Amino acid sequence: MQDFYRDRLDNGFSPATVQKIYVILHKALSQAVSWSLVPRNAGEEAVRAPRPAPKEMRPLSPDEARRLLETAEGDRLEALYLLAIHTGMRQGELLGLKWENVDLAANAIRVHHTLLRTKGRVVLGEPKTKKSRRTVHLTGTASRALEEHLERQLKVMERLGDLYRDQGLVFTTEVGTPINPSNLRKRSFAPLLQKASLPRLRFHDLRHTCATLLLSKNIHPKYVQELLGHATVSITLDTYSHVLPGMGNQVAEAMEDVLS
């Protein structure tokens, strides 16, 4: 098994792909043990799969973020991109957002659902963690964008009538069905980046953009953690410690002040 994993890597398979193969074999052997088909799970005891390298984040600079949002003006999904940057909500949380969880009077969103892909279908599921189930307070700009988005959506519903398959979702296809994340990236996000003359990004980098912009303005990491829905503030610090402005200098200066 170890030779097999090594061979896959040598033949160009990524560490992430080989790890998925490892997980499948591990589960199969565990089931075989429970059925007494084999005496032990060799994959668990003696074999290690390669760890996939963490994906490099590519947050937008303030100028780039402004350019993206300016380019998105008038786009059918303008509010989606604005919320992604203003709130740091995950792609699944945005695509699974329902109007019943939007309170425009209070400028707030309750994150209660996330859009998941399972067995080739997109379905609504539970948020990633308990902390992910949260209330997100909106900027005035984000709230106005949602109001305009709702107005456009109601006009589409009126025009299409029974052809519109309303499921209460905020962001939908042109006929009201959930947006496939793959289609969002290929048909909307990638062309938008190209139109804005921005490099290729993952949608998740908009979440990183929100966090880095806030932390660069000295917003306390605890507040950023609550906004993003991280399970603990340590996750926020571990993920974004490199963007905390002058942190090393501040530590040295604080020690100097204490002992001087």
Catalytically active residues are 90, 119, 204, 207, 230, 240
Q: Which residues of 209-236 are buried (b: 16+ CB within 10 A; e: fewer)?
A: bbbbbbbeeeeebeebbbbbbbeeeeeb
Are 148 and 170 in contact, with CB atoms under 8 Å apart? Answer: no
Region of 12 please: left (phi>0), alpha (psi -120 to 50) or beta: left
CA distance 78 to 93: 16
CA atoms within 13 A on the CB side of 56: 3
Q: Distance of alpha carbon 138 from its chain centroid, rounded?
A: 18
